[in-house]
Structure 1
Amino acid sequence: MQMKQKKVLLYSGSLKLVEKSGVGQAVRHQQQALSIAGVPFTMDSKEDYSIVHLNTIFPDSVLKSKRAKRKGKKVVYYAHSTMEDFRNSFRGSNVIAPLFKKWITYCYNSGDLIITPTDYSKELLEGYGLKRPIISLSNGIDTDFFKWNNEARRRFRDKYNIPDEEKVVISVGHYIERKGILDFVKLAKRMPNYQFYWFGYTNLNLIPQRVKEAIKQSLPNLHFPGYVTREEIRDAYCGSDLFLFLTHEETEGIVLLEALAAKIPVLVRDIPIYKHTFKDRETVYKGTTTEQFEELTSQILEGQLPDLTENGYQLALERDIKVIAQRLLAIYEQG
């Protein structure tokens, strides 16, 4: 896939359905990466193109893949989803998870090349028996945009009327069990001396009753501002004292990279995807039980543990969008 004057189509069909998710963020990162690498691209299917990027697993994307191949175009399928991270998401997701696995396998096999964000998700997909080459490449992070600054911290604290001395814990994601929202709420109840903010939103009709009940609890230190802009999320990182990411399963977790880029302490659940990349007590802190999360949260907020934020920032720099742009260009040129 030589890139000399060849144009990439970032297919935008059904993109509005996922624009507020990590997939939508990944597409924005692809636009940025292609611009940095000097690769011409379009979002308009009516324009001529040589390569199409597909990011969703809706039927229209599969149709686009098949039509593109019939016309001699190359198809790059971004594998953002696995059966494993589909489980424990929406109502009924566990029941249909095996069918979901068959469907995404069909989708990904329709392309010429599969790109997935991490070695962990690559390993999972290889176990699906996919027939196409799989390459792991981070979705990337704009470290310049998410860099900590005091003005952003002030905006966040002013907006939510948070005194300077108040300790704030945040998380970002959909209202789904897989993201660890139940444990987040449990910790807020157990730690009334700290403020807990969960950014993100999911239609309440799509989530199980236990999650609805959790987010409807009336706790004075628990807040659900809903979906906010990218700028407001950046301000929230800068204005908080801990990013608490209790997700049970991810293919990458862009929000984790954003928090590291903002140089705030990070506490994550100790899950396989982060086993090698994010070393416990080197770049992030890790826990597995509610009791551990409570203890570590308190120790981090009270300054009783070493500050790892510079190490985390260096790791984010390795996944900076400018680095990803060059790796993406190299993938094209090798193809």
Structure 2
Amino acid sequence: MRTLDYLEFEDRLRGGIVTATRQQRKALRRQGVDVAESPWRAGDPVRSLGTAFAGLGYFDDYDVAHCNTIGPGSLAVARHAKREDVPLVLHAHTTGEDFAGSFRYSERAVPALKAYLKRFYAQADVVLCPSDYTRSVLESYPVDAPIRTVSNGVDVESLEGYESFREETRERFDLEGMVVFSVGEVFERKGLSTFCRLAERTDYDFAWFGHYETGAAASAEVTKWTQNPPENVTFTGFVEDKRMAFGAGDVYCFPTKNENQGIAVLEAMATGKPVVLRDIPVFEEFFEDGHDCLKCETEAEFRDALERLAAEPELRERLGANARETANEHSLARVGERLTDVYRALLNGEVPPESTEPMDG
């Protein structure tokens, strides 16, 4: 079986969608699947015009088309797949709900984006999404296609050796004591204002490891907090190795307002870090308050959670140990098994069954 696993604009994108796609590819290859990363015969759409004129075709050959973004290249792949009767999988990493609060004026674009997503995802033979929460969002649009849930998973191997980055990273960014940290793109949707206001009300060092916009695309909140942060908050910008964050940080704090799953949460759990999360619906599926994380609704609850973790080393240890077990439930082996079974069902002319567990056979 040869499948296309396509991430349009891969060289320009950052964040969870890139991580999720690369984890898919790694998981699939471990299952023995031949994975093509580009749909174009000559590797890109411009050079492939030459192969098309030469009669060799514009698109490459693959048995299943799997697209992870929603841009014009993915739309072209979808239309080609429908013309050629190639099973089409569209992965819903993007919803209107998780786009809001990402960039300046992003909320204004949400109605138009939802209308587009409704049409775009409806082309699929199956839409995959990382959580039942995301599935419920798509069903509310509604999206007229079968929708199935597959965890994004976590690549534990990619985090190996994170401990060795601790001292160097803490020294580089002048971090001391119990460091409260977050990882990923700096967006207001991800709880930026809560993160910073929480820092103002505590004495811990806070660090957010990840790129942030500085130009016209930056929201007012991102500009406000990154240009004039509280004294105990460090915005590192892009770091060359994510293990720096998980090595330097002690408590992963993620007051996000909306997520489709949260790969960085799973990564923090895989490194045994105690995790403090906003109590939002998507996290109800995966994480249990008091077992593998602490969930909070108000800034006062977040502050109390941090104070408990600072005062109770045994709580940090217990939450971290349970978190590792939770992360193991999202292994790439499970992701690969689930994806290959979805592909096989489609190639057999079947709709993949309703299950988040690997299918028999």
TM-score, scaled to structure 2: 0.85
Which residue does 2:5 correspond to in 1? 10
Which residue does 1:203 correspond to in 2? 213
C-alpha separation in 2, matches of 1:116 and 1:146: 24
Q: Is the 8 A contact 1:241 1:301 kept in 2?
A: no
Instruction: Find out whether 1:219 has 2:233 as its counterpart.
Output: no
C-alpha separation in 2, matches of 1:267 and 1:305: 16
Deviations 1:191-240 (A, max 9, x none): 2x2111111123222122233112222433211111123xx322321321
Cα drift, residue 269 of structure 1: 0.4
Instruction: Find out whether 1:330 has 2:341 as its counterpart.
Output: yes
Which deviates more from structure 2 when the two are superposed, residues 214-223 or residues 307-316? 214-223
C-alpha separation in 2, matches of 1:26 and 1:124: 19
Which residue does 1:194 correspond to in 2? 204
Match of 1:62 among 75, 84, 99: 75
Which residue does 1:118 correspond to in 2? 131
C-alpha separation in 2, matches of 1:17 and 1:162: 30
Cα drift, residue 312 of structure 1: 1.1
Q: Is the 8 A contact 2:133 2:282 kept in 1?
A: yes
C-alpha separation in 2, matches of 1:285 and 1:117: 22
SS of corresponding position for 2:124: coil
Which residue does 1:277 correspond to in 2? 286
Which deviates more from structure 2 when the two are superposed, residues 266-275 or residues 140-149? 140-149
Which residue does 1:3 correspond to in 2? none
Q: Using a 3 Å threshold, how does the CA distance of structure 1 residues 186 and 77 change in structure 2: closer, same or farther?
A: same
Cα drift, residue 153 of structure 1: 2.6
Cα drift, residue 318 of structure 1: 0.7
SS of corresponding position for 2:206: strand
Cα drift, residue 276 of structure 1: 3.6
C-alpha separation in 2, matches of 1:136 and 1:269: 22
Match of 1:258 among 267, 278, 282: 267
Q: Is the 8 A contact 1:152 1:239 kept in 2?
A: yes
Look up the equivalent residue of 2:98 and give its one-letter code. D
Which residue does 2:298 correspond to in 1? 289
Match of 1:177 among 182, 188, 193: 188
C-alpha separation in 2, matches of 1:113 and 1:257: 25
Look up the equivalent residue of 1:28 and give its one-letter code. R
Cα drift, residue 174 of structure 1: 2.1
Q: Is the 8 A contact 2:181 2:208 kept in 1?
A: yes
Cα drift, residue 167 of structure 1: 1.3
Q: Is the 8 A contact 1:237 1:259 kept in 2?
A: yes
Cα drift, residue 294 of structure 1: 1.0
Q: Is the 8 A contact 1:68 1:75 kept in 2?
A: yes
Q: Is the 8 A contact 2:275 2:294 kept in 1?
A: yes
Q: Is the 8 A contact 2:127 2:147 kept in 1?
A: yes
Match of 1:93 among 98, 106, 114: 106
Q: Is the 8 A contact 1:148 1:263 kept in 2?
A: no
Q: Is the 8 A contact 1:175 1:207 kept in 2?
A: no
C-alpha separation in 1, matches of 2:161 and 2:300: 30
Which residue does 2:115 correspond to in 1? 102
C-alpha separation in 2, matches of 1:324 and 1:241: 28
C-alpha separation in 2, matches of 1:149 and 1:198: 17
SS of corresponding position for 1:197: strand
SS of corresponding position for 1:15: coil
Instruction: Find out whether 1:302 has 2:297 as its counterpart.
Output: no
Match of 2:18 among 24, 28, 33: 24
SS of corresponding position for 1:175: coil
Cα drift, residue 49 of structure 1: 1.0
Q: Using a 3 Å threshold, how does the CA distance of structure 1 residues 176 and 162 change in structure 2: closer, same or farther?
A: closer
Q: Is the 8 A contact 1:62 1:110 kept in 2?
A: no
C-alpha separation in 2, matches of 1:171 and 1:201: 12
C-alpha separation in 2, matches of 1:181 and 1:33: 32
RMSD: 1.8
Cα drift, residue 9 of structure 1: 1.3
Q: Using a 3 Å threshold, how does the CA distance of structure 1 residues 217 and 272 change in structure 2: closer, same or farther?
A: same
Which residue does 2:48 correspond to in 1? none
C-alpha separation in 2, matches of 1:214 and 1:177: 10
Which residue does 1:33 correspond to in 2? 27
SS of corresponding position for 2:339: helix
SS of corresponding position for 1:293: helix
Q: Using a 3 Å threshold, how does the CA distance of structure 1 residues 206 and 149 change in structure 2: closer, same or farther?
A: closer
Cα drift, residue 157 of structure 1: 2.8
Which deviates more from structure 2 when the two are superposed, residues 292-301 or residues 87-96? 87-96
Cα drift, residue 149 of structure 1: 5.2
TM-score, scaled to structure 1: 0.91
Q: Is the 8 A contact 1:77 1:114 kept in 2?
A: yes
Percent identity between the aligned chains?
32
- What is the aligned length? 324
Instruction: Find out whether 1:245 has 2:260 as its counterpart.
Output: no
Q: Using a 3 Å threshold, how does the CA distance of structure 1 residues 148 and 243 change in structure 2: closer, same or farther?
A: farther
C-alpha separation in 1, matches of 2:229 and 2:79: 50
C-alpha separation in 2, matches of 1:304 and 1:257: 21
